[in-house]
Structure 1
Amino acid sequence: MKKAYSLFSEANDEIVRQWLESVWGKRSEYVQYRFVEGALPIIEKSMRVEVRMPTLAEKITLHHRDGFNCRFCGIPVIRKEVRVYLHKLYPEAIPWGRKNIMQHAAFQALWAQYDHILPHARGGSNHLDNMVVTCAACNFGRMDFTLDEVGLQDPRFRTPCLTEWSGLEEVLPSNKRIELLS
């Protein structure tokens, strides 16, 4: 327990936080948005038809297809459920407050997201063919922009980065885990 506490505390690194803050959001110096003729407009939240977040069953299907690595950059990811469980065990070592600065830097960077290739805000559906597993930086860095608007290739045309990384699922009770088939 002391070793885990120590490692989690050490991973809450300011350099990781600075990198993450530099990548996501409208102020990122690294993500450049461009105007694309004919791009679908952003739909007001009140006018969006579908619920944005995938169901647990859809998340399981996405992880079986994509593994526990971001489809854009390949970084390992950890589901929210794993982070919440570990935060309860190690609240001081894995802080998770309401603001970014109050959240554990490494767990923030590895936070699994479920990104819509055609953004939900542009009318993209929750159909699994329109979704991929991503890290927080890639998801929040792109925001509501299309792949063309940020100059990214469609990650669905690349083979998923399927590695031995399990997303730390093994720390969860067996009835809460996503187990990938070998």
Structure 2
Amino acid sequence: MTSSLRERRRQHLRDEILAAAQALIAERGYAAMSMEELAAQVGISKPTLYSHFSAKEELVIAMATQAMERLFAVVDDGDPPRRSALERLADLLRTGVQVQMDRQVTAMHLWMPEIVQMMKSRDESLTQLCRIDAVVVDLVRQAHLHGEIAAGLDESVVVRIFYALFMSPNVARLSLVNSPDPETMPDAVAHFFLRGVAAGKA
């Protein structure tokens, strides 16, 4: 077996493990899920599981990393920007909300303060978090310089509005109202962001 084939199989198994972990966490909760149960769900031995992930914390970080990769796809489209800075912020926000809606219950774990703190303790994850934040701050500054943001709105306020809306799927799950429609919520959140911060909007 060639090394490239072994690597593809290893990556495929890693993806299977993450998918099974996501399903178990959604069903039972992070604290209740055990590595033994996860190994049985995937049909592998515990040593094989631990060769991919040494602890549950690493599983959560890997899930969050996958989520952030979708955000990077929006940031790194490879082409010169064809949309304004404010529109690109809305695109990033829309994708961030969609990622969380796709992940349903597990998304609430991925962006909780303790999970973010866990990610900050790992160099690779910290680099990704800082990279996303740098993009958000830079786009807000560009939008401000080009007069896209309403006069009187401080850049730091706009950044915090962005992150508050980014977290909105999690806040919604704390309410007794029905769950939001995953098909319409990302666009709705992006719309509210644009209406709230764009220059000339009432």
TM-score by length of 2: 0.27
Which structure is richer in relative contact order (CA contacts within 8 A, separation 6 or more)?
1
TM-score by length of 1: 0.29
User: Which structure: greater helix fraction?
Assistant: 2
Higher-Rg member (1/2)? 2
User: Which structure: greater strand fraction?
Assistant: 1
